Amino acid sequence: MTLEVPAHSALASKPASRIRQKNEEAILKAAEDEFARHGFKGTSMNTIALNAGLPKANLHYYFTNKLGLYIAVLSNIIELWDSTFNALSVDDDPAQALTRYIRAKMEFSRRQPQASRIFAMEIISGGQCLNEYFSQDYRAWFKSRAAVFQGWIDAGKMDPIDPVHLIFLLWGSTQHYADFATQICQVTGRTRLTKQDFEEAGNNMIHIILKGCGLTPAL
């Protein structure tokens, strides 16, 4: 049997959907700020609700508990990063593809440094909350990304390097400028990292990584 939705119900659901999306975005942003400052244990649902501008009851309507909200924040971070990595294809020019990827990841680090730090803290503490996320499906996805690099190597487009270690290098180097911004500022005498700092760091990273792969940077 086909369930027909009355036209007025369908129209009513659109504003409700927009409100839900707006509230979820506000909650995730507030949660991201709190988890980055205080970690999982030091963060309370009350504070998140207050910073999101919502009653605590509303917060529990969207996320039943703190762990569920924390995992949602982590998943959002990873999916954001991985969406950029999904664009790599064996048909791409590796120099251009890697340049785009490094620039995109550096922009994530500039715009969303707290998200990167939450992920780093979770991994350093053992990554137990990400056990389900890093399932067989994720490992298969990772292997498919490594296969893109291997395809470039097999086609003679780049030097024969280990794709797995190259991916780790790409991840670590681009996230470093978010996770260790305080150290970078102290060493360089800056009060904060500017957009220009991220662009210059990205240019150097592109040059170093691409040259290490036997590629010519096209800056």
- Burial label, 24 (beta-carbon count in 10 A; 0-12, 13-18, 19+): middle
The DSSP 8-state label assigned to residue 129 in this structure reads G
Cα–Cα distance measured from residue 82 to residue 142, given in angstroms and rounded to the nearest whole number = 10
**Averages of pLDDT over each 10 residues, the chain, 219 residues:** 35 63 90 90 92 90 91 87 89 95 95 91 89 86 96 97 97 95 95 96 96 88
pLDDT of residue 13: 47
Helix (H, G, I), strand (E, B) or coil at 65: coil
Q: What was the pLDDT predicted at 169?
A: 97
Domains of the chain: 1-64 (1.10.10.60), 70-219 (1.10.357.10)
Closest CA to 177 of 122, 97, 118, 105: 105
Is 175:107 a contact under the CB 8 Å cutoff? no
Q: What local confidence, expressed as pLDDT, does residue 28 receive? A: 92
| Whole-number pLDDT of residue 1 | 32
Q: What number of helices (H) and strands (E) belong to the chain?
A: 10, 0
95 vs 157: CA distance, rounded Å: 9
Q: What is the pLDDT of residue 197?
A: 97
Q: At what angle do helices 7-38 and 66-85 cross, to 10 degrees?
A: 100
